[in-house]
Amino acid sequence: MNNHGGTTRASPSRDFLASEAAGGIVLMGVAALATVVANSPLAGAYFGALEAHAGGLSVLHWINDGLMTIFFLLVGLEIKRELVDGELSTWPRRVLPCVAAAGGMAVPALVYVALNAGTSANLRGWAIPSATDIAFALGVLALLGPRAPASLKVFLTALAIIDDLGAVAIIAAFYTDHLAIGWLAAAGGILAILAALNLGGARRLDVYLVAGALLWFFVLKSGVHATLAGVALALAIPMRGGATGEEAPLYRLEHAIQPWVAFLVVPVFGFANAGVSLAGMTLAKLAEPVTLGVAAGLFAGKQTGVFLSTLATVRLGLADRPRGASWARIYGVSLLAGVGFTMSLFIGLLAFPDSAATRDAVKVGVLLGSLASAIAGALVLLAARRDDEASGDEAQGLQ
């Protein structure tokens, strides 16, 4: 039994890593398919379907504000689980991925700002290259098989989860323009009810989910992005099981929605948002500030921020390297952190809601930066595996 009720698993992160990695592989195919469709005779039907309205919102709006709330619910559950009972549950474990994530968010933002300093309107997109896509990055690692040690997968997962936490905070703080106080107060009332349910020992998931649905509606009306309701709901889900030994509600909900998020929610989001017409695309357009800022931020900024932050933390004696990870392998993972697909596209939609042309520039930048990071990261990890086998190098582990 674990301290939250239920049966202890041999490897608490194994199912998570497996599903995220498989979902990442699916996401790669969906992103490629969206680009093909958007540049085929089906392009008109594709874009038209996304703009069709139902229930007062467009299909694209339902996907980005409704369906993606389930993704953010899973993100919130993962964050809470890791902080309370996982790889981030103690300060020694938090130090390395926290510092690496901070560097990996700050440097890409600085790269973007430097390349867009001449156009003030473009600066709203500063946070776009700061995000790491857990599923996509783990999907690349999965394709490498045993060439990447498990400690690196855990390190990348922890880094990306902290990265997601930062992205959620950024969305709440910087991409909320207008607030409806009445609706916000109603959302606050639901949050108070959720907290009371948790403190009162309620364990029925359906009660939390009904309250969560109301919370989503009130947050949607309040002006705060509706998907943040998913994170708020996640934080209220109990991590303790019942007296009879049943599994904790948080674990039950996480395991229930994980496959749906990996194989439905994120692929649908990717298909709806990755499609961009490449008609008239030229080298000059690829060099436009937004496209270049996003691509360079993801590829150059991420690897620089993550790797140098990790190097400094270890050299200062604040943390150890992940077990079995040479510096070459850590550099490969730093490159994979530049795969920003899902969250980067999402922030791009929030940053430029009224400019389709700028959103297309963001999409191209995200695709280029993520693709370059994935390919370069895979090549470095392949080369590092061969070098480590030849030299017999074994790095110190992260305890």
Given this model, what pLDDT does residue 5 score? 45
How far is 19 from 26, CA to CA, in rounded Å? 11
How far is 120 from 238, CA to CA, in rounded Å? 44
| Alpha-carbon distances, residue 174 vs 112, 117, 167, 302 (angstroms) | 16, 18, 10, 21
Averaged pLDDT for residues 25-47: 89
Given this model, what pLDDT does residue 382 score? 86
Does position 260 have pLDDT exceeding 50, yes or no? yes
| Coil/strand/helix, residue 40 | coil
Backbone angles phi, psi at 165, to 5 degrees: -60, -45
How far is 163 from 104, CA to CA, in rounded Å? 8
193, two tokens = 């009810």
| Closest to 237 measured CA to CA, from 193, 186, 194 | 194
Given this model, what pLDDT does residue 281 score? 75
Q: How much is the pTM?
A: 0.80
Neighbours of 251 (CB within 10 A): 22
The overall average pLDDT reported for the chain is 85
Given this model, what pLDDT does residue 12 score? 46
Q: Which residues contact 182 (CB under 8 A, 6 or more apart)?
A: none
Nearest 5°: the CA angle 180, 181, 187 is 95
Span 263-286, pLDDT tens digits: 899 899 989 988 888 776 778 778
Higher pLDDT, 333 or 389: 333
Does position 43 have pLDDT exceeding 80, yes or no? yes
Q: Give the number of C-alpha atoms closer than 13 A to the C-alpha of residue 319, restricted to the C-beta side.
A: 21
Backbone angles phi, psi at 58, to 5 degrees: -75, 160
Span 192-234, pLDDT tens digits: 999 999 999 888 999 999 999 999 999 989 988 888 899 999 9
> Which stretches within the chain are classed as H helix?
14-38, 43-51, 59-61, 68-85, 91-116, 134-144, 150-174, 181-199, 205-222, 228-236, 249-260, 266-274, 283-286, 289-296, 302-315, 327-336, 341-351, 356-391
Give percent of the chain with pLDDT exceeding 70: 88
Given this model, what pLDDT does residue 146 score? 61
